[in-house]
Amino acid sequence: MPPSAPKVCVFGTGAVGATYAYILWRAGIPAQSITCICRSNYSAAAASGFTIDSELWGANLRFHPNVVRSISVAASHGPFDYNGIAIEPPYARAHPANPLLSTVVHLSVSSVAPALISHYARLEHLHIGTYPADAPAPHNAAAVQLAELLRRGGASATVHDDVQGARWAKVVVNGAWNSLCALTRSRSGDLLASSPRAADHVRSVMREIAAVARASGYSHVDEQFVESQMERAKAMGLPGAQPSMLEDALAGRAMEVDAIVGHVLEIAREKAVATPQLEAVYVLLRALDQSFKADRARQSDSRANGQTEKGDKERQRGEEIDIDK
Protein backbone atom coordinates (compact mmCIF):
# COMPACT_ATOMS: atom_id res chain seq x y z
CA MET A 1 0.00 0.00 0.00
CA PRO A 2 1.11 3.60 -0.51
CA PRO A 3 2.22 5.51 2.60
CA SER A 4 -1.19 7.20 2.82
CA ALA A 5 -3.78 4.41 2.67
CA PRO A 6 -7.25 5.29 1.39
CA LYS A 7 -10.08 5.70 3.87
CA VAL A 8 -13.13 3.60 3.15
CA CYS A 9 -16.72 3.92 4.30
CA VAL A 10 -19.11 1.00 3.77
CA PHE A 11 -22.64 2.42 3.82
CA GLY A 12 -24.95 -0.39 4.92
CA THR A 13 -22.72 -3.19 6.17
CA GLY A 14 -24.77 -6.31 5.66
CA ALA A 15 -23.38 -9.54 4.24
CA VAL A 16 -22.12 -7.98 0.99
CA GLY A 17 -20.74 -4.81 2.59
CA ALA A 18 -18.93 -6.73 5.33
CA THR A 19 -17.38 -9.12 2.81
CA TYR A 20 -15.96 -6.30 0.69
CA ALA A 21 -14.74 -4.48 3.78
CA TYR A 22 -12.87 -7.68 4.65
CA ILE A 23 -11.42 -7.89 1.12
CA LEU A 24 -10.14 -4.31 1.34
CA TRP A 25 -8.59 -5.10 4.71
CA ARG A 26 -6.90 -8.16 3.17
CA ALA A 27 -5.58 -5.86 0.45
CA GLY A 28 -3.68 -3.89 3.07
CA ILE A 29 -5.98 -1.07 4.17
CA PRO A 30 -5.67 -0.80 7.97
CA ALA A 31 -8.79 -1.70 9.96
CA GLN A 32 -8.84 1.78 11.50
CA SER A 33 -9.15 3.24 7.98
CA ILE A 34 -12.31 1.23 7.25
CA THR A 35 -15.57 2.49 8.74
CA CYS A 36 -18.70 0.35 8.53
CA ILE A 37 -22.17 1.83 9.05
CA CYS A 38 -24.42 -0.86 10.53
CA ARG A 39 -28.09 -1.27 11.37
CA SER A 40 -29.44 -4.32 13.20
CA ASN A 41 -25.98 -5.90 13.46
CA TYR A 42 -24.41 -2.83 15.11
CA SER A 43 -24.07 -4.21 18.66
CA ALA A 44 -22.45 -7.48 17.58
CA ALA A 45 -20.12 -5.84 15.04
CA ALA A 46 -19.09 -3.05 17.41
CA ALA A 47 -18.28 -5.52 20.16
CA SER A 48 -16.42 -8.21 18.21
CA GLY A 49 -16.11 -7.16 14.58
CA PHE A 50 -17.16 -9.45 11.72
CA THR A 51 -16.65 -13.17 11.16
CA ILE A 52 -16.80 -14.68 7.66
CA ASP A 53 -17.01 -18.36 6.77
CA SER A 54 -16.06 -18.60 3.11
CA GLU A 55 -15.76 -21.55 0.72
CA LEU A 56 -13.31 -19.40 -1.23
CA TRP A 57 -11.04 -17.82 1.42
CA GLY A 58 -11.47 -20.03 4.49
CA ALA A 59 -13.45 -20.39 7.72
CA ASN A 60 -13.61 -18.23 10.85
CA LEU A 61 -12.08 -15.17 9.19
CA ARG A 62 -12.23 -12.26 11.64
CA PHE A 63 -11.61 -8.54 11.33
CA HIS A 64 -12.68 -5.52 13.34
CA PRO A 65 -13.01 -2.19 11.49
CA ASN A 66 -14.54 1.01 12.88
CA VAL A 67 -18.25 0.34 13.41
CA VAL A 68 -20.76 3.21 13.69
CA ARG A 69 -24.52 3.72 13.48
CA SER A 70 -24.79 6.71 11.16
CA ILE A 71 -23.13 8.86 8.50
CA SER A 72 -22.72 11.71 10.98
CA VAL A 73 -20.63 9.52 13.27
CA ALA A 74 -18.70 8.11 10.30
CA ALA A 75 -17.78 11.61 9.18
CA SER A 76 -15.84 12.15 12.39
CA HIS A 77 -13.32 9.54 11.20
CA GLY A 78 -12.35 11.65 8.17
CA PRO A 79 -13.06 11.90 4.43
CA PHE A 80 -13.91 8.74 2.51
CA ASP A 81 -14.04 7.21 -0.96
CA TYR A 82 -17.68 6.15 -1.25
CA ASN A 83 -18.35 3.14 -3.42
CA GLY A 84 -21.18 0.79 -4.15
CA ILE A 85 -24.14 3.16 -3.65
CA ALA A 86 -26.47 2.18 -6.45
CA ILE A 87 -28.47 5.41 -6.77
CA GLU A 88 -25.98 7.35 -8.90
CA PRO A 89 -27.52 10.62 -10.13
CA PRO A 90 -27.84 12.40 -6.72
CA TYR A 91 -24.17 11.72 -5.99
CA ALA A 92 -23.11 12.79 -9.48
CA ARG A 93 -24.95 16.08 -9.00
CA ALA A 94 -23.55 16.63 -5.50
CA HIS A 95 -19.95 15.80 -6.50
CA PRO A 96 -19.65 16.54 -10.23
CA ALA A 97 -15.83 16.71 -10.21
CA ASN A 98 -15.30 13.52 -8.20
CA PRO A 99 -14.83 10.08 -9.79
CA LEU A 100 -18.08 8.19 -9.24
CA LEU A 101 -17.80 4.43 -9.69
CA SER A 102 -20.86 2.29 -10.25
CA THR A 103 -20.45 -1.36 -9.30
CA VAL A 104 -22.41 -4.55 -9.81
CA VAL A 105 -21.66 -7.38 -7.41
CA HIS A 106 -22.16 -11.11 -7.84
CA LEU A 107 -21.56 -12.62 -4.42
CA SER A 108 -23.30 -15.58 -2.78
CA VAL A 109 -23.39 -14.48 0.86
CA SER A 110 -25.94 -14.34 3.65
CA SER A 111 -26.02 -13.20 7.26
CA VAL A 112 -26.55 -16.28 9.41
CA ALA A 113 -26.32 -14.27 12.66
CA PRO A 114 -25.50 -10.63 13.50
CA ALA A 115 -22.00 -9.89 12.10
CA LEU A 116 -21.58 -13.54 11.04
CA ILE A 117 -21.50 -14.04 7.26
CA SER A 118 -21.62 -17.23 5.21
CA HIS A 119 -20.01 -17.09 1.75
CA TYR A 120 -21.08 -20.14 -0.20
CA ALA A 121 -20.90 -21.53 -3.77
CA ARG A 122 -17.54 -19.76 -4.34
CA LEU A 123 -19.33 -17.03 -6.30
CA GLU A 124 -17.56 -13.65 -6.14
CA HIS A 125 -17.08 -10.99 -8.80
CA LEU A 126 -17.39 -7.22 -8.97
CA HIS A 127 -18.13 -5.30 -12.18
CA ILE A 128 -16.89 -1.69 -12.09
CA GLY A 129 -17.41 1.31 -14.35
CA THR A 130 -17.55 5.07 -14.21
CA TYR A 131 -20.77 7.02 -13.94
CA PRO A 132 -21.47 8.30 -16.47
CA ALA A 133 -19.83 5.93 -18.91
CA ASP A 134 -18.18 8.82 -20.80
CA ALA A 135 -16.52 10.26 -17.68
CA PRO A 136 -13.02 11.79 -18.02
CA ALA A 137 -10.00 9.48 -18.28
CA PRO A 138 -8.84 10.08 -14.66
CA HIS A 139 -12.19 8.73 -13.47
CA ASN A 140 -11.64 5.52 -15.41
CA ALA A 141 -8.17 5.31 -13.86
CA ALA A 142 -9.87 5.30 -10.45
CA ALA A 143 -11.94 2.30 -11.56
CA VAL A 144 -8.77 0.46 -12.59
CA GLN A 145 -7.13 1.29 -9.24
CA LEU A 146 -10.14 -0.07 -7.33
CA ALA A 147 -10.07 -3.29 -9.36
CA GLU A 148 -6.35 -3.74 -8.63
CA LEU A 149 -6.96 -3.14 -4.92
CA LEU A 150 -9.70 -5.78 -4.81
CA ARG A 151 -7.49 -8.30 -6.62
CA ARG A 152 -4.78 -7.76 -4.02
CA GLY A 153 -7.38 -8.69 -1.43
CA GLY A 154 -8.13 -11.99 -3.18
CA ALA A 155 -11.25 -10.88 -5.06
CA SER A 156 -11.98 -10.67 -8.78
CA ALA A 157 -13.09 -7.60 -10.70
CA THR A 158 -13.77 -6.41 -14.25
CA VAL A 159 -13.64 -2.79 -15.41
CA HIS A 160 -16.23 -1.92 -18.08
CA ASP A 161 -16.46 0.95 -20.54
CA ASP A 162 -20.21 0.92 -19.75
CA VAL A 163 -21.10 -0.98 -16.60
CA GLN A 164 -24.84 -0.38 -17.04
CA GLY A 165 -25.03 -3.46 -19.25
CA ALA A 166 -23.89 -5.58 -16.32
CA ARG A 167 -26.32 -3.71 -14.07
CA TRP A 168 -29.28 -4.52 -16.33
CA ALA A 169 -28.26 -8.18 -16.44
CA LYS A 170 -28.29 -8.32 -12.66
CA VAL A 171 -31.58 -6.41 -12.40
CA VAL A 172 -33.24 -9.14 -14.47
CA VAL A 173 -32.21 -11.64 -11.79
CA ASN A 174 -32.74 -9.41 -8.75
CA GLY A 175 -36.06 -8.01 -9.88
CA ALA A 176 -37.48 -11.52 -10.08
CA TRP A 177 -35.80 -13.44 -7.27
CA ASN A 178 -35.54 -10.70 -4.63
CA SER A 179 -39.17 -9.72 -5.13
CA LEU A 180 -40.77 -13.14 -5.36
CA CYS A 181 -38.69 -14.68 -2.56
CA ALA A 182 -39.58 -11.76 -0.27
CA LEU A 183 -43.28 -11.98 -1.09
CA THR A 184 -43.38 -15.73 -0.49
CA ARG A 185 -40.77 -15.74 2.31
CA SER A 186 -39.10 -18.62 0.47
CA ARG A 187 -35.59 -19.25 -0.77
CA SER A 188 -35.21 -19.61 -4.53
CA GLY A 189 -35.17 -23.42 -4.64
CA ASP A 190 -38.11 -23.70 -2.26
CA LEU A 191 -40.07 -21.25 -4.39
CA LEU A 192 -39.42 -23.24 -7.59
CA ALA A 193 -40.49 -26.45 -5.84
CA SER A 194 -43.67 -24.95 -4.42
CA SER A 195 -45.79 -25.24 -7.56
CA PRO A 196 -45.62 -26.50 -11.17
CA ARG A 197 -46.40 -22.90 -12.20
CA ALA A 198 -43.66 -21.25 -10.12
CA ALA A 199 -40.87 -21.45 -12.72
CA ASP A 200 -43.07 -19.98 -15.46
CA HIS A 201 -44.03 -17.07 -13.21
CA VAL A 202 -40.40 -16.30 -12.32
CA ARG A 203 -39.49 -16.54 -15.99
CA SER A 204 -42.29 -14.14 -17.02
CA VAL A 205 -41.06 -11.48 -14.58
CA MET A 206 -37.50 -11.89 -15.88
CA ARG A 207 -38.69 -11.56 -19.47
CA GLU A 208 -40.45 -8.29 -18.75
CA ILE A 209 -37.35 -6.77 -17.15
CA ALA A 210 -35.19 -8.08 -20.00
CA ALA A 211 -37.50 -6.34 -22.47
CA VAL A 212 -36.95 -3.04 -20.65
CA ALA A 213 -33.18 -3.64 -20.77
CA ARG A 214 -33.25 -4.21 -24.53
CA ALA A 215 -35.39 -1.11 -25.02
CA SER A 216 -32.66 0.77 -23.14
CA GLY A 217 -30.01 -0.37 -25.59
CA TYR A 218 -28.66 -3.57 -23.99
CA SER A 219 -29.44 -6.25 -26.56
CA HIS A 220 -27.41 -8.96 -24.80
CA VAL A 221 -30.09 -9.22 -22.11
CA ASP A 222 -32.15 -11.55 -24.30
CA GLU A 223 -34.23 -14.71 -24.04
CA GLN A 224 -31.11 -16.87 -23.95
CA PHE A 225 -29.83 -14.89 -20.96
CA VAL A 226 -33.15 -15.35 -19.14
CA GLU A 227 -33.07 -19.11 -19.75
CA SER A 228 -29.47 -19.34 -18.53
CA GLN A 229 -30.46 -17.67 -15.27
CA MET A 230 -33.42 -20.01 -14.82
CA GLU A 231 -31.19 -23.04 -15.36
CA ARG A 232 -28.64 -21.65 -12.93
CA ALA A 233 -31.31 -21.26 -10.24
CA LYS A 234 -32.62 -24.79 -10.80
CA ALA A 235 -29.09 -26.19 -10.55
CA MET A 236 -28.69 -24.77 -7.05
CA GLY A 237 -31.29 -27.21 -5.74
CA LEU A 238 -32.96 -26.94 -2.35
CA PRO A 239 -33.31 -24.70 -0.45
CA GLY A 240 -31.60 -22.35 -2.91
CA ALA A 241 -30.39 -18.78 -2.52
CA GLN A 242 -31.62 -16.34 0.11
CA PRO A 243 -31.72 -12.90 -1.57
CA SER A 244 -31.15 -9.75 0.47
CA MET A 245 -34.77 -8.64 0.16
CA LEU A 246 -35.89 -11.95 1.68
CA GLU A 247 -33.54 -11.35 4.60
CA ASP A 248 -35.08 -7.91 5.08
CA ALA A 249 -38.61 -9.32 4.87
CA LEU A 250 -37.90 -12.02 7.44
CA ALA A 251 -36.52 -9.37 9.79
CA GLY A 252 -39.33 -6.88 9.11
CA ARG A 253 -36.87 -4.30 7.78
CA ALA A 254 -37.36 -1.73 5.03
CA MET A 255 -36.93 -3.31 1.60
CA GLU A 256 -35.34 -1.86 -1.54
CA VAL A 257 -38.62 -1.86 -3.45
CA ASP A 258 -38.01 1.19 -5.61
CA ALA A 259 -34.31 0.52 -6.19
CA ILE A 260 -34.94 -3.02 -7.44
CA VAL A 261 -38.41 -2.77 -9.04
CA GLY A 262 -39.74 0.80 -9.03
CA HIS A 263 -36.96 2.27 -11.15
CA VAL A 264 -37.42 -0.46 -13.77
CA LEU A 265 -41.12 0.40 -14.01
CA GLU A 266 -40.32 4.10 -14.49
CA ILE A 267 -38.02 3.28 -17.41
CA ALA A 268 -40.57 0.81 -18.81
CA ARG A 269 -43.17 3.59 -18.95
CA GLU A 270 -40.67 5.93 -20.65
CA LYS A 271 -39.87 3.23 -23.24
CA ALA A 272 -43.52 2.11 -23.63
CA VAL A 273 -42.71 -1.46 -22.59
CA ALA A 274 -45.60 -3.45 -21.10
CA THR A 275 -44.76 -4.96 -17.68
CA PRO A 276 -48.04 -6.23 -16.15
CA GLN A 277 -46.40 -8.97 -14.06
CA LEU A 278 -43.80 -6.58 -12.64
CA GLU A 279 -46.48 -3.96 -11.91
CA ALA A 280 -48.37 -6.53 -9.82
CA VAL A 281 -45.18 -7.53 -8.00
CA TYR A 282 -44.46 -3.87 -7.23
CA VAL A 283 -47.92 -3.24 -5.77
CA LEU A 284 -47.62 -6.27 -3.49
CA LEU A 285 -44.08 -5.38 -2.41
CA ARG A 286 -45.06 -1.81 -1.56
CA ALA A 287 -47.96 -3.05 0.55
CA LEU A 288 -45.71 -5.54 2.36
CA ASP A 289 -43.07 -2.87 2.92
CA GLN A 290 -45.68 -0.49 4.33
CA SER A 291 -46.89 -3.20 6.72
CA PHE A 292 -43.34 -3.59 8.03
CA LYS A 293 -43.13 0.18 8.49
CA ALA A 294 -46.38 0.19 10.47
CA ASP A 295 -45.18 -2.71 12.63
CA ARG A 296 -41.93 -0.87 13.40
CA ALA A 297 -43.88 2.26 14.35
CA ARG A 298 -46.13 0.27 16.69
CA GLN A 299 -43.13 -1.39 18.30
CA SER A 300 -41.47 2.01 18.76
CA ASP A 301 -44.62 3.44 20.34
CA SER A 302 -44.91 0.41 22.60
CA ARG A 303 -41.33 0.81 23.80
CA ALA A 304 -41.87 4.54 24.39
CA ASN A 305 -45.08 3.87 26.33
CA GLY A 306 -43.29 1.20 28.36
CA GLN A 307 -40.55 3.67 29.29
CA THR A 308 -43.16 6.26 30.25
CA GLU A 309 -45.03 3.78 32.47
CA LYS A 310 -41.74 2.69 34.07
CA GLY A 311 -40.85 6.32 34.80
CA ASP A 312 -44.30 7.00 36.28
CA LYS A 313 -44.00 3.99 38.57
CA GLU A 314 -40.52 5.02 39.72
CA ARG A 315 -41.73 8.56 40.45
CA GLN A 316 -44.72 7.15 42.34
CA ARG A 317 -42.44 4.94 44.47
CA GLY A 318 -40.24 7.96 45.17
CA GLU A 319 -43.24 9.99 46.33
CA GLU A 320 -44.37 7.12 48.60
CA ILE A 321 -40.92 6.98 50.17
CA ASP A 322 -41.01 10.73 50.77
CA ILE A 323 -44.42 10.43 52.42
CA ASP A 324 -43.22 7.62 54.68
CA LYS A 325 -40.32 9.77 55.79
Domain hosting residue 57, numbered range:
8-159
Looking at the structure, do residues 151 and 59 belong to the same domain, yes or no?
A: yes
Looking at the structure, do residues 74 and 207 belong to the same domain, yes or no?
A: no
125 within domain boundaries: yes
Looking at the structure, do residues 142 and 81 belong to the same domain, yes or no?
A: yes
Among residues 287, 302, 319, the one where a domain terminates is: 287
**Cα–Cα distances in angstroms (integers) from residue 229 to residues 24, 109, 167, 210, in the given order:** 29, 18, 15, 12
Looking at the structure, do residues 19 and 121 belong to the same domain, yes or no?
A: yes
Looking at the structure, do residues 122 and 172 belong to the same domain, yes or no?
A: no
36 within domain boundaries: yes
Rounded Cα–Cα distance for residues 175 and 131 (Å): 22
269 within domain boundaries: yes
Q: How far is CA 89 from the centre of its chain?
A: 18
Rounded Cα–Cα distance for residues 234 and 289 (Å): 28
For the chain (325 residues), the mean pLDDT of every run of 10, in chain order, is 72 91 96 92 96 96 94 57 51 87 90 93 91 92 95 96 93 95 97 97 98 96 97 93 90 90 94 98 97 91 71 58 49
pLDDT score at 318: 57
Among residues 95, 129, 159, the one where a domain terminates is: 159
Supply the pTM of this predicted model: 0.79
Q: Which long-range contacts (CB under 8 A, 24 or more apart) does 120-124 make?
A: 120/55, 121/55, 121/236, 122/55, 122/56, 124/19, 124/56, 124/155, 124/156
> Exposed e or buried b for every residue in 237-267, given b needs 16+ CB within 10 A?
eeebbbbbbbbbbeeebebbbbebbebbbeb
Question: Structural domain tally of the chain?
Answer: 2
Q: Which long-range contacts (CB under 8 A, 24 or more apart) does 316-319 make?
A: none
Looking at the structure, do residues 147 and 49 belong to the same domain, yes or no?
A: yes
From the list 123, 150, 118, 126, the residue with the least C-alpha distance to 54 is 118
323 within domain boundaries: no
pLDDT score at 310: 59
Looking at the structure, do residues 265 and 171 belong to the same domain, yes or no?
A: yes
Among residues 159, 177, 197, the one where a domain terminates is: 159
